[in-house]
Each structure stands twice: as C-alpha cells, then as structure tokens.
Amino acid sequence: MNIRKIMLALVVATVFMGSFSCRMQERGEATEGVVSVSIQPLQYMVDRLTGGALEVNVMVPAGASHATYSPTTSQFQKLSASGIYFRIGHLGYEKAFIGRLSEMNPGMQVINLSEGISLIRGEEIDHGDHVHEGGIDPHIWMSPAVMIQLLPRMKEAIVAVYPALLPEVEANYRLLLPEVEALDQELAVLSGELSHKRFLIFHPALTYLARDYGFEQIPIERHGKEPSPALLAHIIDEARTHEVPVIFVQQEFDVRSAQLVSQESGARIVQINPLAYDWFQSMREVVEAFKTHMQ
C-alpha cells in the first residue's frame, strides 16, 4: 500500500475540509446527505435501505483491491463531509487513515461493522503489501448469515443520523431483510444436499460463508503470496484426492496458479466478484456455482 499517497491525501483533504466547512457555514448550507462506505457491496445495502436518498461515497472503487488501493483526495473530501462512515474494520487500506478521521470530521458516526461479529482469526497474515492484523479475515460481507447481523446496525445508524428518512428506511428494511434471510435459508438447505463440500479458491474471500454453511475452503494463495512449487503440488494432490470440483477466482488477482491447479486436477474455474456493487448477484453466482459443480 502506498502509505505516503494516503497520508498526503489526508493532509490535503483535512486542510480543504476546514476551509470548505467554514464556507458552508457562512452560506448557511449543511454538509448532510452523504454516507461513506468501504466497499461497493455496502453501497448497495445503503442504496436499498434509503431508496437512493443519500449520496454514497465508496472508498474502494470497482476493479480496485481493498488491500492496496489508495483513496483519492476527492474521496477523502467526501468522507470528511459524510454523516456516517460504514467500515468493514479489517481491510488493509483502512488501517492507514482511520486514526485521522476524528480530525477530518469529528461529528461523523464511524460504524465498524466487524464489531460484534464472530471473527475468524488465525496467525498474523503478511500479504507483502499489507497485513491482516491478528490474522483476522476481513470478508465478513460474503456470508448471508453475517449480513443478517449487519443490516440492523446499518438501518439504526442511518435513521439516527438522518431521522427524516425513518419511514422509507423502515419500509425498505422490511423488504430487504427477508430477501437476505431467504438466501441464508437456501444456502443452509443446499449445504445439506450437496455431495461435495470442499472448494478451492485463489484468494480466500469465502471464509465466513464456508464456516456458516458447513463448507471447506481450500485457498491457493497462502499468507497473501503465490504458492511455492511444493505447496502447489500439495494443493493439486489434495484437489485430486478429494475430487474438488471447482476453483473460484477473482478478477483482480493473477490466477495463473489457479489455472495450473485446474489443468492438473480437473477442477473447473469459476469467476466471482466479492467487491461487485450488486451483493445479491455476487452471492447468486456462488450459489449457482455450488449447484452446478458440487452436486
């Protein structure tokens, strides 16, 4: 991660927002109506809850890696004008600037969505360009069971900061939550029906989904690094022994190792996008891949 770029953007944004806020106060204008989120799937949830009534500033845009992306000055400016910031809590880029948020926008409500979640921890994971603190896997949003826990907190935060939206948010929440619960139930039933429970994945983005629905995730990328020849041979042997039918890959990663495992083991490669805006579509891609390849 380019720490210098992030810190420079923070300094510029802090100075800009100081003068910006003064000008807004002089004109009697408010800086309300903006919510910031870490990633696009959270933007989707805010949009669904509010019916698009709030502008949503996404700190990691489409196609970027949440581990290495350096937010722009413009993104920090919008963050500084936000009433709420929904953060995942353990993404690499967040660590670089979270300590400066109180200086940039002391009135902003910062909601760490990882708080209260049963987190999956392991050894300290060094990804070379970033570290997952305490080995915490950050991909909490990729499990419907976890999303069921996140939605009430998001709803409560939005109506607390923007009370005029209460009727619309409550109505939308009553529609959205049952959709997530239905997907949760579908996965729970599907898990009991499938003959295969193991899947390979290049970057381990489905850790919480695997835990919550009784699957076993076998990552090809270990500790954020490409596998050594010895480890790759072990993964191929494991895939053959257990007849692992599918390998999930993400577009932002180099998947040559996954392609080699596929060639040697016969497992099919399926592309998923955990950072896509449409959370339901992302989850459906995983569910349909389970149905197609893991029967």
Residue ending a domain, among 178, 213, 234, is: 178
Q: Do residues 198 and 106 both lie within one domain?
A: no
- Which residue range(s) make up the domain with 35? 3-178
The identity of residue 167, as a single letter, is P
Average pLDDT rounded to a whole number, residues 255-271:
95
pLDDT above 70 for 294: yes
Percent above pLDDT 70 for the chain:
81
- The answer to whether residue 42 sits within a structural domain is yes
- The answer to whether residue 183 sits within a structural domain is no
Q: Do residues 83 and 108 both lie within one domain?
A: yes
Q: Do residues 41 and 91 both lie within one domain?
A: yes
Q: Which residue has the tokens 């009370």?
A: 163
pLDDT band at 122, cuts 50/70/90? low
pLDDT above 90 for 56: yes
Q: Do residues 96 and 133 both lie within one domain?
A: yes
Pairing of strands 125-126, 131-132: antiparallel
How confident is the model over 80-103, as pLDDT tens digits? 899 999 999 888 777 767 777 767
Residue ending a domain, among 133, 149, 178, is: 178
- The answer to whether residue 97 sits within a structural domain is yes
Q: Do residues 234 and 289 both lie within one domain?
A: yes
The CATH number of whichever domain residue 263 belongs to comes to 3.40.50.1980
DSSP state of 64: -
Q: Do residues 110 and 70 both lie within one domain?
A: yes
Q: Do residues 88 and 133 both lie within one domain?
A: yes
Residue ending a domain, among 150, 178, 206, is: 178
CB 217 within 8 A of CB 204: yes
What are the b/e assignments for 33-47, b being 16+ CB within 10 Å?
A: ebbbbbbbbbbbbbb
Q: Do residues 131 and 63 both lie within one domain?
A: yes
- The answer to whether residue 189 sits within a structural domain is no
How confident is the model over 228-262, as pLDDT tens digits? 999 999 999 999 999 999 999 997 788 899 999 99
Report the C-alpha gap between 130 and 164 in whole angstroms.
40
Q: What is the pLDDT of residue 57?
A: 95
Q: Do residues 103 and 8 both lie within one domain?
A: yes
Report the C-alpha gap between 54 and 279 in whole angstroms.
18
Q: Do residues 152 and 203 both lie within one domain?
A: no
How confident is the model over 9-37, as pLDDT tens digits? 444 444 444 443 443 333 333 346 999 99
- The answer to whether residue 101 sits within a structural domain is yes
Mean pLDDT of the chain: 85
Average pLDDT rounded to a whole number, residues 65-73:
74
CB 80 within 8 A of CB 14: yes
Residues 6+ apart with CB under 8 A from 227: 220, 221, 235, 257
- The answer to whether residue 264 sits within a structural domain is yes
- The answer to whether residue 160 sits within a structural domain is yes
| pTM assigned to the model | 0.84
pLDDT band at 184, cuts 50/70/90? very high
**Interhelix angle for 166-193 vs 40-50, to 10°?**
130
Q: Do residues 149 and 198 both lie within one domain?
A: no
Of 94, 108, 111, the C-alpha closest to 6 is 94
**Interhelix angle for 40-50 vs 144-161, to 10°?**
60
Q: Do residues 147 and 245 both lie within one domain?
A: no
